[in-house]
Structure 1
Amino acid sequence: MAGIGIVGAGISGLTLALRLRQRGVETTLYCERDAAAMRASRLPSTVARMGHTQARERELGSEHYRDPASLMRTAKLSIKGEPPLEFTANVAEPFHAVDFRLLIPAFMDDFAARGGEIRVVDKAPDAAQVDRWSREHELMVVAAGRRSVAELFPRDPGRSPFDRPQRVLTAGLYRGLDLEAAFSYNISGGVGEILRAPMVTREGVVSAILVEAIPGGPLEELSRTSWQDVPGTLLGLLREHAPRLAERVDTAAFELLGPDDLLRGAVTPTVRHAVAELPSGRIALAIGDAWITNDPITGQGANLGSACAWIAADAIAAGGPYDAAFGRATEERMWEAAAPVTDWTNAFLQPPADHVLRLLVAATTRQDLADLVLSLFSDPPYAWSVLSSPEQVGRIVDGGGERLYDRV
């Protein structure tokens, strides 16, 4: 029987695969596209990876595309108003953004070079196919997939408060925007959010912009615009809802890289049960987007996927039996990392609480608080312990603040 089978070649599946190979575990990766096809595909996401995710990649020996222009050591927050609420902060560890059409194939090449087996399949597997594969492996881990996820891992209603998308998403890669090495987070109350980051792409470093539109609001227009007209429509929306970002646009040069560099859709935030018992008598374990799908409003999807894959890898490497008890215990260990991310993300999809506004207002006049607020993105457990607690916010604001980088 050939070790562990992993379905899905995203950041979760490949972090798991690389870590298992590092721990000496025989591993087979099942995916719908090889590295070459991935490089030629449509834009899959606009992801910024935080410090802890990058540290795991360093430990794996899989650091790639470290263009200095893509390392974000500062971050800017702006909330529309008269006057706007805004501040610039230094982050404890730089954020890093790479087009996953570059990064994921590089991880696949690393995995293959280290003795991992990659099997390319011609269609997304269903539950029956996962069960057939399980007869070759001690354990199946599902990190991606459409049919198999829906069939194997039902929604956990106690951890999934939403039954529909809370934002309509439009992400794209653009020329003609000042390539400042800073992350930009712009909020237009009751309308949505606009996030911008410098990203390494096939054309060098460009601007990745993610528009999070509250359904029915003016930002949703971008999701219905022809790709040729997206830049013009977006520029008008930036002027109205993210004016600081609009100031950095060269209107004569502002354009999408191409039609494949635009991604549109919507996400229903969902937590699924992570363990499925298969007809073969073995189990399947869900990680990554197969387990938890969070809205990208807090930028935590890939970072959480990496963290939980690491937890699962170390649990697997410790040895079996890989039965239902193993699956439930691993799910609970992963949930310790995932719960604060999920709660924080779901909270940010709603209007901010009064104590959160108090912290943001205080950050406009105190650099220590500004640095703290933007560095929260790198430490979700601490972020949620602060943002969920009026008492904690009060202690920080009234007691002189604290620096997150003293904690890491």
Structure 2
Amino acid sequence: MAGIGIGIGIGIVGAGISGLTLALRLQQLGIATTLYCESDADTLRASRLPATVVRMGHTRERELGSGHFRDPGCLMSRARLSVKGDPPLEFTAGVAEPFHAVDFRLLLPAFMDDYAGRGGELVVAAKPPDAAQVDRWSRRHELMVVAAGRRSVAELFPRDAARSPFERPQRLLAAGLYRGIDLEPLFSYNISGGAGEILHMPMMTRAGVVSAVLVEALPGGPLEPITRTPWQEVPAALRALLREHAPRLAERVDAAAFELLGPDDLLQGAITPTVRRPVAELPSGRIALAVGDAWIVNDPITGQGANLGSKCAWIAADAIAAGGPYDAAFAHATAERMWEAAAPVVDWTNAFLRPPAEHVVKLLVAATTRQDLADLVLTLFSDPAFAWGLMSSPGEIARIVDGGEPPLYDRV
């Protein structure tokens, strides 16, 4: 572990999925860390809904000894894609590694408790940190890794225009937790042309397993009003939208029981997909490296934010464990390794925000009559790098649509 000074170690700003994964992994490797966060575990448990997150594929939490809330009711072994039309385009497939949905107000505090219980140092900041505060903290450490934050992120890591094709949100969002939708271990992805997307999943929450629904509304389209509807009126508005834009999901709604869990269980807003420059030199002379949402914010349309954050945190942990010096060259090299994993995720997610290419439509149509292609398409959510390699190749899609064998998917 060359390069880690005794009693110094690594400072990590942000107790989201990326910061906690990094802290737990470095702790597992015997590297001293301090985790700086804006709230303690109990405050987070009592907060309002931060997101509706489904983690797909192998996020390696169980390797950290932190495989929490794996109730069968929130583990989805099947997924269904439905595209509104006359007739609708629809197919269902099984996934080898179940999708897993847990309210982050449960999961992140559990990770925080794991970290603290194993001897980790956790510091709750008096206020959201700015760049000056990150610099002050850096004097205790050999490297600062910034995984969350508002002011500090904007001040330290400017937008990378070359990697950020959008300057405004491409979807307006309304995410909520509901009772009254028939639950089954199925991830439901519903597309309505010209309107947007509606995602449904069973999620483990403070109230047990309930329905999480994410509306991704095209600006100016018929789904947009729900992104600003008062919470008391949202259930009735959503029921009407489901009947029109996600009829298969609407069939599972019990009108008499359908309701939001409460006012803190609705999140409305928008995200501008952004990639920031990942390395900053602090006045202290230390380096700050961005990971997770401090570096890349993707639209949740493909459900990849937490997956990518976990993966890049693991890459950063391996780089740190290999030893310093933790200088600008180290940070830039680590960022490039992370970008190798992140670039296809960013490209694939951004492609979802645009009208589908003709070859992609042909693949979806073919998947309605070929189970091997249905399995392939829905498995792509577990590996966006594999997905982008396929979806960005019209020739490869033409080959398999014309009867060729689908490419072998290697789950790693």
Fold shared, TM-score > 0.5 on shorter chain: yes
1:57 and 2:61 are equivalent in the alignment: yes
In structure 2, distance between residues paired with 1:268 and 1:202: 29
**Number of paired residues?**
406
Q: Do the aligned partners of 2:176 and 2:213 also contact (CA within 8 Å) in 1?
A: yes
1:18 and 2:24 are equivalent in the alignment: yes
Deviation per CA, 1:342-387, whole angstroms, max 9, x where unpaired? 0001111000000000100000001110010000000111100011
Of residues 338, 356, 359, the one that matches 2:360 is 356
Structure-to-structure mapping, 1:7-406, within 5 angstroms: 7-53=13-59, 56-402=60-406
Which secondary structure state, in structure 1, belongs to the residue aligned with residue 58 of structure 2? Answer: helix
In structure 2, distance between residues paired with 1:25 and 1:266: 37
- Which residue identity is paired with 2:271? V
In structure 1, distance between residues paired with 2:162 and 2:229: 37
In structure 2, distance between residues paired with 1:122 and 1:209: 34
Which secondary structure state, in structure 1, belongs to the residue aligned with residue 61 of structure 2? Answer: helix
Q: Do the aligned partners of 1:375 and 1:404 also contact (CA within 8 Å) in 2?
A: no
In structure 1, distance between residues paired with 2:27 and 2:89: 48
Tell me the TM-score normalised to structure 1 length: 0.98
Which secondary structure state, in structure 2, belongs to the residue aligned with residue 284 of structure 1? Answer: strand
In structure 1, distance between residues paired with 2:410 and 2:58: 15
- Which residue identity is paired with 1:126? D
Per the TM alignment, residue 394 of structure 1 is displaced from its structure 2 partner at its CA by 1.6
- Which residue identity is paired with 2:178? Y
In structure 2, distance between residues paired with 1:141 and 1:294: 19
Q: Do the aligned partners of 2:79 and 2:92 also contact (CA within 8 Å) in 1?
A: yes
In structure 2, distance between residues paired with 1:346 and 1:217: 19
Identical aligned pairs, as a percentage? 79
Q: Do the aligned partners of 2:92 and 2:374 also contact (CA within 8 Å) in 1?
A: yes
Per the TM alignment, residue 111 of structure 1 is displaced from its structure 2 partner at its CA by 0.4
Question: Over aligned residues, Cα RMSD in angstroms?
Answer: 1.0
Which secondary structure state, in structure 1, belongs to the residue aligned with residue 190 of structure 2? Answer: strand
Q: Do the aligned partners of 1:371 and 1:403 also contact (CA within 8 Å) in 2?
A: no
In structure 2, distance between residues paired with 1:398 and 1:316: 47
In structure 1, distance between residues paired with 2:33 and 2:235: 43
Per the TM alignment, residue 123 of structure 1 is displaced from its structure 2 partner at its CA by 1.0
Structure 2 gap segments, 5+ residues each:
1-6
Per the TM alignment, residue 115 of structure 1 is displaced from its structure 2 partner at its CA by 1.2
Query: For the structure 1 residues 388 and 114, does the alpha-carbon distance in structure 2 shift closer, same or farther, using more than 3 Å as the test?
Result: same
Of residues 5, 11, 17, the one that matches 2:11 is 5
In structure 2, distance between residues paired with 1:198 and 1:401: 33
In structure 2, distance between residues paired with 1:79 and 1:111: 43
- Which residue identity is paired with 2:106? L
Tell me the TM-score normalised to structure 2 length: 0.97
Residue 4 of structure 2 corresponds to none
Per the TM alignment, residue 235 of structure 1 is displaced from its structure 2 partner at its CA by 0.4
Per the TM alignment, residue 18 of structure 1 is displaced from its structure 2 partner at its CA by 0.1
Q: Do the aligned partners of 2:57 and 2:99 also contact (CA within 8 Å) in 1?
A: yes
Q: Do the aligned partners of 1:92 and 1:405 also contact (CA within 8 Å) in 2?
A: no
Which secondary structure state, in structure 2, belongs to the residue aligned with residue 370 of structure 1? Answer: helix
Q: Do the aligned partners of 2:228 and 2:268 also contact (CA within 8 Å) in 1?
A: no
